[in-house]
Structure 1
Amino acid sequence: MAEVSFLRPSAQHKFRQVVVKDCIQQVLTEQLAEKQYNAEETPVLTQQLVQVIREKVKTMGYDRYKIVAHVIIGERRGAGVRVIARCLWDSDTDNCAQDVFMNDSLFCVAAVFGCYCY
């Protein structure tokens, strides 16, 4: 049987959670700092954020990784919100990063999943 270890990414090419979290934080701060919650604009804004985040992460050189971005935007009204996600993956190569942005009007939770394609 052939050895498949050569298919795994090297240490410097693995999905790095800290670097991706910084990228998410930068995008959310740039895009949402002056925004006010508007229920009619939120679907378009959510799609724009997903595209910007995904494209920025792709430029980081994560070859052979499937990059999935997930963004939730809601209005701040004093209630708590819990967001969870589950995924079945290879714990040696796959990872995720997330960040939360809040201003007086809205909250945003963004997560990026990096799944290595063998």
Structure 2
Amino acid sequence: MNKSKKTTLRSMLTKTPIREGSTRERTWDTRSDVSDGVMVAPRVQENTYKLNPDDEKKFKPGKVERVMQDVLKEFLSDVEYEKTLGQRMSKMLADTIKTRVKEFKWTRYKIVVQVIIGENLEQDIRAGSRFLWYDETDTYASTTFVNRSLFALAVCFGVYYE
């Protein structure tokens, strides 16, 4: 083939010429590039520019507190405190709480869960967190659990993203 000649390919959808060696690349939906030899056009999604969540899809701290209380009671009611328990158990509890909160299907919310477990020696504890926060959409829920040998503090943050 002579290199001086440019061959022209045509798109199956638009019938517009596509030159070989073109720097413009096409992006196709990877789930359905070719179906029975016919190329499928990419899915185009527009931005919604929603700054606030719908009322029925807002993060509800009361529901989250009940979920966290249920999880903490379920997993910690018969547990005795051990040094090695804290790290593994707090990770597992945080993942369980996060999974159950995601079942509410609040769209556009990032869910962040923090669980602290310690030995109950009749002491006080203070915990603090810092976030960039928008008061109208971002919120949190927290709860505590205490038995005779340990305490647990669970905090779940719902941060809305646009």
Q: Could you tell me the TM-score, scaled by structure 2's length?
A: 0.68
Matched to 1:88, the amino acid is: L
- Which blocks of at least 5 consecutive residues in structure 1 are unaligned? none
Give CA-to-partner distance per residue, 1:7-52, whole Å, 9 cap, x none.
Answer: 4211111111111111111100101000110111221101100100
CA contact (8 A) 2:86 2:116 kept: no
**1 CA distance for matches of 2:130 and 2:85?**
28
Q: How many residues align?
A: 115
RMSD of aligned residue pairs (Cα, Å): 1.4
Indicate which of 90, 98, 110 corresponds to 1:54: 98
Q: How does 1:1-118 map to 2 (within 5 A)?
A: 4=49, 6-118=50-162
Using CA pairs under 8 Å that are at least 6 residues apart, name the structure with larger relative contact order, 1 or 2: 1
Q: In 1, distance between residues paired with 2:59 and 2:123?
A: 33
% same residue = 36
2:25 maps to none
**Shift of residue 85, structure 1, vs aligned partner:** 1.9
CA displacement at 1:100 relative to structure 2: 0.3
Which range is displaced more, 30-39 or 78-87? Answer: 78-87
Distance 1:105 1:31 in 2: 14
Distance 1:19 1:80 in 2: 26
Could you say what secondary structure the match of 1:34 adopts? coil
For the pair shown, the structure with the greater C-alpha radius of gyration is 2
SS at match of 2:100: helix
So what's the TM-score if we normalise by structure 1? 0.92
**4+ residue runs of structure 1 moved beyond 6 angstroms?**
none
